[in-house]
């Protein structure tokens, strides 16, 4: 029996609606509004896999529908571990990171609060030759890497392009951390391993400025203004760390006290 042109047109239109997810009753909505546009951005593991995090990122909205979706790892093509998202992610999602981490990660120095807690580590097998991480959803993330590319020294992590750098776990709220490394030396604004005249000069050289245009390094109090709070951070940790070879320019404590008083006087002129 030959179908009329109008019948064929109706069938074609219905098919298009299903494929684009317009008809919610067919379950095809997940193609357009689910979790399939999250991509792995950073991977971290310590040597035994007990501490691991997986950071995802999406540039798109409508990717919050993670409730009940499975995220799993495979080691050398064999299923290794699995996690079911217990809730949806926050929204909107565009431009946000999503941090999944093993238990205990959040309590480590330098860590940030993960958005979801994975099962007890290792979530992926660090002893395998290759690892596959996938969000079990239509057209969703499916990422495979050679384990030799992943550092396990407790400091470095690996990004999607297999490039390694100091780990920087970032959660949905945009908080950035770093674990496993040497804790930062408070007051060492120029990162030379010593709190001294160079750090003091950095603060005084940007004194009474908003940040920006002032140098963010000169604002260790992170209040957006270079002033007495930042000076106190430096003076309160004076001479901490390992001094550089040339210490001739380091002022005496009495001189520092005068500088502190002068800084307080300058602060009173603000505004």
* 142-146 and 96-101 strand pairing: unpaired
C-beta neighbour count of 190 within 10 angstroms: 14
Domain boundaries, the chain: 39-166, 197-268
pLDDT in tens, 19-64: 334 433 333 334 445 899 999 999 999 999 999 999 999 999 999 9
CA–CA gap between residue 204 and residue 220 (Å, rounded): 13
φ/ψ of residue 264, rounded to 5: -65, -40
pLDDT score, position 83: 98
- Residue 246: per-residue pLDDT: 61
CB 133 within 8 A of CB 54: yes
Mean pLDDT comparison of 33-37, 114-118, 209-213, highest-scoring range: 114-118
Contact 234, 199 (CB under 8 A): yes
Highest averaged pLDDT of the listed ranges 93-102, 203-212, 262-271: 93-102
State the average pLDDT for the chain.
Answer: 83
- Say what angle helices 197-205 and 228-235 make with each other, to 10 degrees: 180
Decide: pTM greater than 0.85: no
Residue 12 in this model has a pLDDT that exceeds 80: no
Under a CB-based contact definition with an 8 Å cutoff, are residues 53 and 27 in contact?
no
Helices 253-268 and 197-205 cross at an angle (nearest 10°) of 10
Average pLDDT over residues 81-88: 97
Rg, Å, the chain Cα set? 26
Q: Among positive and negative, which fits the CA dihedral 135, 118, 77, 47? A: positive
Return the bridge partners of 133, or none. Answer: 73, 143
Q: Between helices 253-268 and 228-235, what is the axis angle to 10°?
A: 170
List pLDDT tens digits, range 227-270: 999 999 999 999 988 887 665 445 545 445 545 555 554 455 44
- Top CATH class of 39-166 equals mainly beta
């Amino acid at each position: 029996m030959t179908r009329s042109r109008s019948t064929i047109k109706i069938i074609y239109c219905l098919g298009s609606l299903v494929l684009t997810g317009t008809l919610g009753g067919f379950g095809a909505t997940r193609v357009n509004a689910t979790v399939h546009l999250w991509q792995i951005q950073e991977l971290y593991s310590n040597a035994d896999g007990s501490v691991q995090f997986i950071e995802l990122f999406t540039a798109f909205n409508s990717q919050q529908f993670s409730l009940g979706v499975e995220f799993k790892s495979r080691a050398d093509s064999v299923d290794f571990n699995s996690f079911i998202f217990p809730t949806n992610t926050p929204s909107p999602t565009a431009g946000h990171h999503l941090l999944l981490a093993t238990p205990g990660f959040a309590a480590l120095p330098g860590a940030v609060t993960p958005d979801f807690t994975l099962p007890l580590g290792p979530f992926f097998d660090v002893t395998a030759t290759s690892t596959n991480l996938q969000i079990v959803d239509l057209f969703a993330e499916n990422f495979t890497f050679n384990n030799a590319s992943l550092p396990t020294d407790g400091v470095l992590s690996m990004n999607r392009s297999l490039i390694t750098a100091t780990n920087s776990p970032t959660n949905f709220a945009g908080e950035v951390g770093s674990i496993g490394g040497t804790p930062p030396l408070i007051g060492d604004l120029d990162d030379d391993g010593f709190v001294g005249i160079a750090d003091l000069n950095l603060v005084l050289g940007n004194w009474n400025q908003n940040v920006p245009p002032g140098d963010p390094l000169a604002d260790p109090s992170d209040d957006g203004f270079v002033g007495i709070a930042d000076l106190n951070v430096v003076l309160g940790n004076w001479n901490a760390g390992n001094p550089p070879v040339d210490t001739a320019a380091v002022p005496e404590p009495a001189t520092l006290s005068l500088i502190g008083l002068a800084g307080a006087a300058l602060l009173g002129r603000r505004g």
